[in-house]
A = this chain, B = another copy of it.
């Protein structure tokens, strides 16, 4: 085959795929953080349309035309064949990657950011707040709000705000207001700063500030970049495209590999395929979720009810969790440092349709550099976890002689992560063991759901 399979704009999917229509067992409902009763998403934070999508059982949901036009600025994205990596590995396996780094924000995140901005706008919401750690999600939402004409306010973890100024400037270039969190702009921020004026922030604090502002202002709602069902559904445009692209070259993958933090990037790719496995059409399809050893939610966490956020204000979900109060070691894959996991992915794992592995960051960066030195693209640290597993599997094929078709979720480029590459290349990168004791402590503090 050629190096790339492209789709025309006319071939771009016009509907999102909703896995909830095809689950063999329904997803357990969310629970209210206070009452512990089944609940919807908090209406002060989310518009009605997204709340409907969150619990919808419709198989297909139309992508509004205005949104399709925005997608076309970077979609359909290319499906690439990693000829040069295969050759370097000497493997008979065929490696394909679906590359989402071509979006202006550099990752898959804009697929849901523009959708969320669209539905908020439609319901008269003029402002969105959100949180961001390393800046991937914040920049995607800043861009999404810009396209739809919404104001955007991003609470950026203070340590990142000062250490990664480029991501902040990217958001500001698209017109967003970015404040270092904890800030003086919310009650919780002021309280934390009073206790510790030098607090460098955390994603948990930033979420609380963003939510507090959305609760307090009628014109403002809140936006979340992963985990929730509607977010994963918006990302299914990735997998639908990949399926069409592979069909053009008569390929159905034997194995799909991606990284999971909140889960939206990889679910976006695999959901349109896993349905074939659920229906018994592709019983041998292997779907491998890859997470960091430093935050091994699915491989070492427990499947139970836990809060979505650190403060215990978000709905409670049944999911794999390391405990909502667990703060993972500072690995460079900032997007994979979440204590929980998308309930859809956990549910599919529990039912045996997907599996999970955990990887250390030094071998992950070794794989990333091998990828950069063959395919050219410098991958973000997050999908480099999946690259590590793809290389392992391709080498197994070399041993066995199997000609597997392996599909990789390459969710974004590493242009803003070159500091991490520098650490790796200069031998300064350190690895983090699974912090067992911290997890045990966090798991002792779970909400009690009947």
Residues of A that sit less than 8 Å from B by CB? 2-4, 6, 8-10, 69, 72-74, 80, 83-84, 102-104, 106, 143, 146-147, 165-166, 169-170, 172-175, 369, 372-373, 375-378, 415-416, 418-419, 421-422, 425
Closest to A170 in B: B418
A138 to B72, CA, bound (A): 32
For A143, give its contact among B73, B376, B422 (CB under 8 Å). Answer: B376
On whether the beta carbons of A73 and B3 are closer than 8 Å, the reply is: yes
Chain B residues positioned under 8 Å from A170 (CB to CB)? 378, 418
On whether the beta carbons of A419 and B166 are closer than 8 Å, the reply is: yes
Chain B residues positioned under 8 Å from A377 (CB to CB)? 73, 104
On whether the beta carbons of A72 and B174 are closer than 8 Å, the reply is: no
Given contacts A175-B373, A373-B175, contact A422 B169 (CB under 8 A): yes
Would you list the 7 A-B pairs with minimal beta carbon distance, nearest first? A104-B376, A3-B72, A169-B418, A166-B418, A169-B422, A415-B415, A2-B9
Besides A2-B8, A173-B378, 14 other A-B contacts (C-beta < 8 A): A4-B9, A6-B8, A104-B376, A104-B378, A143-B376, A147-B376, A165-B418, A165-B422, A166-B415, A166-B418, A166-B419, A172-B422, A173-B421, A415-B415
On whether the beta carbons of B146 and A373 are closer than 8 Å, the reply is: yes
For A425, give its contact among B173, B372, B418 (CB under 8 Å). Answer: B173
Given contacts A169-B421, A170-B418, A173-B418, contact A2 B369 (CB under 8 A): no
Given contacts A169-B422, A376-B147, A378-B170, contact A3 B102 (CB under 8 A): no
Chain B residues positioned under 8 Å from A369 (CB to CB)? 173
Chain B nearest CB, measured from A11 CB (Å): 11
On whether the beta carbons of A102 and B104 are closer than 8 Å, the reply is: no
For A102, give its contact among B72, B102, B372 (CB under 8 Å). Answer: B102
Chain B residues positioned under 8 Å from A425 (CB to CB)? 169, 172-173
A169 to B418, CA, bound (A): 6
A2 to B170, CA, bound (A): 27
A341 to B378, CA, bound (A): 32
On whether the beta carbons of B4 and A372 are closer than 8 Å, the reply is: no
A184 to B106, CA, bound (A): 38
On whether the beta carbons of B174 and A372 are closer than 8 Å, the reply is: yes
Chain B nearest CB, measured from A348 CB (Å): 33
On whether the beta carbons of A74 and B422 are closer than 8 Å, the reply is: no
Chain B residues positioned under 8 Å from A174 (CB to CB)? 372-373
Closest to A139 in B: B378
Chain B nearest CB, measured from A84 CB (Å): 8
Which of the listed residues A10, A80, A103, A415 has the most CB atoms from chain B within 10 Å of its own CB? A415
A84 to B378, CA, bound (A): 30
For A106, give its contact among B69, B415, B418 (CB under 8 Å). Answer: B415
On whether the beta carbons of A6 and B3 are closer than 8 Å, the reply is: no
A sample of 6 inter-chain contacts (CB < 8 A) reads: A3-B9, A69-B83, A143-B376, A165-B418, A173-B418, A175-B373
On whether the beta carbons of A72 and B6 are closer than 8 Å, the reply is: no
On whether the beta carbons of A375 and B3 are closer than 8 Å, the reply is: no
For A72, give its contact among B4, B72, B74, B378 (CB under 8 Å). Answer: B4
Chain B nearest CB, measured from A248 CB (Å): 11
A104 to B419, CA, bound (A): 17
Chain B residues positioned under 8 Å from A173 (CB to CB)? 369, 372-373, 378, 418, 421, 425
Which of the listed residues A173, A373, A421, A425 has the most CB atoms from chain B within 10 Å of its own CB? A173
Chain B residues positioned under 8 Å from A378 (CB to CB)? 104, 170, 173
Chain B residues positioned under 8 Å from A10 (CB to CB)? 2
A313 to B3, CA, bound (A): 42
A421 to B170, CA, bound (A): 8
Chain B residues positioned under 8 Å from A166 (CB to CB)? 415, 418-419
